[in-house]
Amino acid sequence: MRDVTFSGDLVKFENTNRPLVISQTDEPSEALSFMGADLPKNLVRSQQYFVVDSTPKYIKISDKPKGTPIRFEGDGSGSLAFNLSANYLSAYAPTGSGPGKGSFDIVGAKDVRVTGCQLSAMGDTMHIQRSRNIIFANNHILGSRMGAFFLAEYCQNATITGNLVDGTNGSRVISVEKSCTDVTMTGNTFRNGGRGAWINQPVNFIMTGNVFVNNTTKNEPDIRHGRIAYRTAKPGEFPELYFTIYDPAATYGPIIVRDNIFILGDSAPGEAVTFAPNGHDLQFTGNTFQNKAAIIVVDPSCKNALIESNMGATTLRKPVDFNHGRR
């Protein structure tokens, strides 16, 4: 954090020790934000901005990389936070937290069995990563300061069944990340997560007979529970379930999502389920949505998509960002 003043289009401070340089991308590591009660009227507290000019005495900022400098409506003062990723961790990490992944972190293993456990953590509850032949069954995740269940990156042949997962307003209640293959999730209950369930570029993915209850608490406008999005300085809009890709040119599928119950929270967006571009052989059928009407959004580039007979939901074909919900 650095104390700054505002005048004209200048953000003034001593920019000589670890100077801020011009932002080249919109990554959080190159973004900055402002705090304080005396900011100029046209600056939004906690929204992301980018450096477009840099000198030892001041910087100029814009709402996008290489954009037009913002001219401030009146002078002011406040505090500057640069590198939003690092600032988020330092501001919100629990007291005494370490670099680990919570209750356990299994990487590069085969024939993994996690059964009959009660798990919780002040960070992510657990990670299973780059492993194969996995059974995660009959466990209770009691609560998570951050993400609840992680099948993380390049796992193969995983069965997730009979679990009760309490997100307790952490981050995502489920993350199946980066090209996991041959994954079956059945007979689980996932509830009170913060940022929905995220499935990232899967291959051969089956999700049947699960119950999802209010997993978008980070969308709530009450800042004691919700999360303000730094891109907009407004509450988030995370779907209950969303499929993404990390490589814009990649494909994903086949996928079967069938006979699940989604009890949507009051802050769930209308677009409760979303499919990124380039999906193929997608079945989303026989699911039930309760508490509010839902829209299932499918990118037009998806092929062989059967989306039908979902009680309480309608289907909409429109463009979807390839990695929506990531931030």
My answer on whether 240 and 182 are in the same domain is yes
Task: Indicate whether 202 belongs to any domain.
Answer: yes
DSSP state of 167: -
Q: What is the pLDDT of residues 132-191, one digit of tens each?
A: 999 999 999 988 878 889 998 899 999 999 999 998 877 899 999 999 999 999 999 999
Question: Pick from 67, 92, 117: which residue ends a domain?
Answer: 92
Task: Indicate whether 327 belongs to any domain.
Answer: no
Distance of CA 113 to the CA centre of its chain: 27
Q: What is the pLDDT of residue 96?
A: 43
Task: Indicate whether 277 belongs to any domain.
Answer: yes
- The highest-confidence range among 23-32, 77-86, 190-199, 201-210, by mean pLDDT, is 201-210
Q: What is the pLDDT of residues 223-255, one digit of tens each?
A: 767 777 767 777 788 999 999 999 999 999 999
Instruction: Give how many domains the chain has, as a whole number.
Output: 2
Range list of H helices, 184-268? none
pLDDT band at 209 (very low <50, low <70, confident <90, very high): very high
Residues in contact with 219: Cβ distance below 8 Å, sequence separation at least 6, in sequence order = 226, 227, 235, 236, 237, 238, 265, 267, 268, 269
Task: Indicate whether 25 belongs to any domain.
Answer: yes
CA atoms within 13 A on the CB side of 131: 23
More reliable by pLDDT, 230 or 81: 81
Question: Pick from 92, 114, 144: which residue ends a domain?
Answer: 92
Nearest alpha carbon to residue 274 among 309, 326, 228: 326
My answer on whether 69 and 167 are in the same domain is no
CA angle 284, 210, 143 (to 5 degrees): 130
Task: Indicate whether 323 belongs to any domain.
Answer: no
My answer on whether 86 and 133 are in the same domain is no
Question: Pick from 71, 92, 113: which residue ends a domain?
Answer: 92
CATH, residue 303: 2.160.20.10
pLDDT at 87 over 70: no
pLDDT at 68 over 60: yes
My answer on whether 141 and 256 are in the same domain is yes
Task: Indicate whether 97 belongs to any domain.
Answer: no
Q: What is the pLDDT of residues 93-128, one digit of tens each?
A: 444 444 445 788 899 999 999 999 999 887 788 899
Q: Where in the sequence is the domain holding 179, given as residue range(s)?
A: 104-317
Could you give the 3-state DSSP secondary structure of residue 175? Answer: strand
My answer on whether 126 and 11 are in the same domain is no
Q: What is the pLDDT of residue 120?
A: 86
State the chain's mean pLDDT as an integer. 90
Nearest alpha carbon to residue 258 among 201, 216, 207: 207
My answer on whether 66 and 184 are in the same domain is no
My answer on whether 246 and 280 are in the same domain is yes
Give yes or no for a contact between 243 and 274, defined as CB atoms under 8 angstroms apart: yes
My answer on whether 75 and 108 are in the same domain is no
Q: What is the pLDDT of residues 7-33, one digit of tens each?
A: 999 999 999 988 999 999 988 888 899
My answer on whether 79 and 160 are in the same domain is no
My answer on whether 115 and 64 are in the same domain is no
My answer on whether 32 and 115 are in the same domain is no
My answer on whether 132 and 87 are in the same domain is no
Q: What is the pLDDT of residue 85?
A: 65
